[in-house]
Structure 1
Amino acid sequence: MTIDAAIARWCARPIDTGHPGLTLTPLVLGPEGVPVVTDAEQAKAAPEAAVLSAMAHGQSASAEAIGAAFLAAAAGLDEERRAVYADLVLSSLNEAVRRTLEATMKSGYEFQSEFARSYVAKGREEGLREGTLKAKAQAVLAFLAARGLEVPAEVRERVLASTDLAELDGWIRQAAMVSDTRELLTTTDS
């Protein structure tokens, strides 16, 4: 199996084994043997064919239509297959299509498929969590600074590196009571 038509032709050449009457004809699947799947219903009926279509034709003029058909099909897949197939499809599409899809996502387009909506929601949740972590870490440091306490580099780095919301909440409360910022880290570690 190859996505390169020239390699497919080369690999499909008969091989003379040297034994009279015995010539091996390899079975090769190249781009010509893979249908271009641009119809959403066809992609829903055979999502694996849509994935192969993207792999074989994702650099062609049909790439955008192939990607759109796959997105429609992906809504009906279980989460694991959807993730693996989406990764294969997106990595197979040409750069122009990827840029177009990114521009569409940034323009406020509302995705129609459950697949796309679930990934957008997941991204928002992760972004919100990251923003909350950063805000809480900054709050700890701001509270300590407002109290006039020196914040050594190791304390600053540890606070900014925290990925535990409960730990950061505890540090915010402790920042009101510690007399030395190093105590902040020992009060929650013990």
Structure 2
Amino acid sequence: MSIMVHGRNRKVIEAFNAALADTRDEHATQYTEYAYSMAAPEIRRIMEEIMTSTDWPVYSPFARQHFGRGLEEGKAEGKAEGEARIVLLVLAARGLDVPDDIRARISACTDLAQLETWATHAATAQTLQDLFDEPGE
């Protein structure tokens, strides 16, 4: 309740976080969620700032599952973005002009296998159509 009433004082939020970090209670994340949901917007901003600037422990199995899933999804998304960037860099290095619609198609792709295929094709493609054609077509 102190967060909701006195949360404008940063020290109150810091004390709340410190207390939760030291507790073995499996409901610590629920307490945080409850305090956050009941807090005023300016208090939420302070809570977010503190939680993103520290190593915030993940206690509950629910939080661990969703934190882990988000981490894996973020890694996959980052790999796809990197792979798409490589395709576009190779095409640019080879002097092929990539129109916006094809750039958007490559950038929007999240299939790593497809992006790797395009990266391989980009190394030898004479035209942009060659990038999307399968060998032997």
Whether TM exceeds 0.5 here: the answer is yes
Counterpart in 2 of 1:141? 88
Q: In structure 2, what is the Cα distance between the partners aligned to 1:181 and 1:127? A: 29
1 CA distance for matches of 2:87 and 2:58? 41
- Of 78, 101, 113, which residue of structure 1 is paired with 2:47? 101
Residue ranges of structure 1 left out of the alignment (5+ in a row): 1-35, 39-57, 76-81
Q: Give the Cα separation in 2 of the matches to 1:144 and 1:89.
A: 51
Change (3 A) 1:124 1:105: farther
Q: Which has the higher helix share?
A: 2
1:11-66: CA deviation from partner (whole Å, max 9, x where unpaired) = xxxxxxxxxxxxxxxxxxxxxxxxx6x8xxxxxxxxxxxxxxxxxxx8x417766x
CA distance in 1 between counterparts of 2:86 and 2:49 reads: 34
| 8 A Cα contact 1:136 1:169, kept in partner | yes
Equivalent residue of 1:163, what SS? coil
Is the 2:80–2:112 Cα contact (8 Å) retained in structure 1? Answer: yes
Paired letter, 2:39: L
- Stretches of structure 2 lacking an aligned partner (at least 5 in a row): 8-12
Count of residues paired in the alignment: 122
Letter of the 1:149 counterpart = L
**Offset at residue 120 of structure 1 (A):** 4.1
TM-align CA RMSD: 3.6
d(CA) in 1 for partners of 2:47 and 2:66? 14
Cα separation, partners in 2 of 1:132 and 1:92, compared to 1, 3 Å: same
Q: What is the distance in 2 between the residues matched to 1:118 and 1:179? A: 46
Is the 1:90–1:98 Cα contact (8 Å) retained in structure 2? yes
Structure whose alpha-carbon radius of gyration is higher: 1
Write the letter of the residue equivalent to 1:73: H
Pick closer, same or farther for the CA change 1:126–1:112 going to 2, 3 Å.
closer
Pick aligned residue for 1:171 from 112, 118, 125: 118
Shift of residue 119 of structure 1?
4.4
SS in 1 for 2:101: helix
Shift of 1:140: 0.0
**Which runs of structure 2 are paired with 1:1-190 in the superposition (5 Å)?**
60-61=4-5, 72-73=26-27, 90-111=36-57, 113-114=59-60, 115-187=62-134
Identity of aligned residues (%): 32
